Structure 1
Amino acid sequence: MARGHVILSHGLESGPEATKVSALAQVAEHLGWTHERPDYRDLDAGRRPEDIAARVARLQALARVHTGPLVLAGSSMGAFISGEVAGHLAGGVDGTSSTVPTLLGLFLMAPPIAMPGWWPTPLQAPASLPTMVVHGWDDELIPAAAVIDWCAARKAELRLVDDSHRLAAHVEYSASAFADLLKRVDA
């Protein structure tokens, strides 16, 4: 029997077979978790701010299908929508009466903390949810200082690495960190 389910969301210029989410899927499977990697490329093609809401809605609908233990994970835009959906699920802010999964954790790689002009509020992930973030010191899109402040406010575990936004040199490291989170929330 599976320990729980993981939904892995890819970044804006990526897809469900991307290197990082594929590595996380292998970790989840190895540790006995089911997983899925939604495809948002149809929504990303227009590169319009309103498409973020459609991404959030798609992930939220997928998450609500699961009634058992759930972990959300994502990279870049996938991290942003994972955090947003975690906030919706934990706070019930969407107003639906459908079943809410047991959200156990959140894993974010290179998360955009704020998206001025694209999204009205900063990333709203709940402070009470076990959260781990992997971010590059040299991220050219999201300053490390903003991520440090965001993590500090939530007491989220932050792992800063010598890398850029894509975290290309830290795929295995990110997968290992994800394994650490899954083991922790599965205890």
Structure 2
Amino acid sequence: MKGTVILSHGLESGPQATKVSALALVCDALGWASVRPDYRDLDASRDPLAIDARIDRALGHAPREGRVVFAGSSMGAFTSGFASLRRASAGLFLLALPTAIPGYPRAFDAADVPTTLVHGWNDEVCPVDAAIGFARARGATLHLVRDGHRLAAHVDWCAGVFRDFLAGLD
């Protein structure tokens, strides 16, 4: 295996969600292991402070040794960034990134590693300007598509971008 990808689903989703499932198929095809932590029990409370438990759970699924990539959608992207600050990672792949969560005391942050973001121009949940600002400040690769928060019209396309991202880490 080339490493492990921790695939984190969004708040109103689960480990079998469309986007993280598509990314898991890419991992399999390229020789990466993937893990999809289940956060639904934590998300049920709708308590923003449960984000810390989400981060801990993501880290608990990361192997102690070897390369790790954190990837996720929406709240999963937020979780992934913070996890990357606590466990060395080879890269971050972030979909529909919120840069702040109402009620959570910290604005989004992430390790300075190769990072790719995909965001919808018409994202009704996470403002596109905030994602653009984060990408600009980090010099991250940013793909903007004509889609909403769920990126439903671009799932296969996102998987292709993810394939290129992982291939670029080799």
Q: TM-score, normalised by structure 1?
A: 0.88
User: Shift of residue 46 of structure 1?
Assistant: 1.0
Does the alignment pair 1:58 with 2:43?
A: no
Unpaired segments ≥5 residues, structure 1:
91-102
**2:79 alignment partner in structure 1:** 81
Q: Over residues 155-174 of structure 1, what are the superposed CA-to-partner deviations in whole Å (9 max), with x where a residue is unaligned? A: 01000000000000000111
Larger Rg: 1
Does the alignment pair 1:121 with 2:120?
A: no
Query: Cα RMSD (Å) of the superposition?
Result: 0.9
CA distance in 2, matches of 1:37, 1:121: 24
> Percent identity among equivalent residues?
55
Structure 1: which 4+ aligned runs deviate by more than 6 Å?
Answer: none
**1:93 alignment partner in structure 2:** none
CA distance in 1, matches of 2:81, 2:144: 18
User: Shift of residue 121 of structure 1?
Assistant: 1.6
Which residue among 140, 145, 151 is the counterpart of 2:129? Answer: 145
Does the alignment pair 1:39 with 2:38?
A: yes
**2:119 alignment partner in structure 1:** 135
Q: Over residues 122-151 of structure 1, what are the superposed CA-to-partner deviations in whole Å (9 max), with x where a residue is unaligned? A: 11112x300000000000011111110110
**1:112 alignment partner in structure 2:** 98
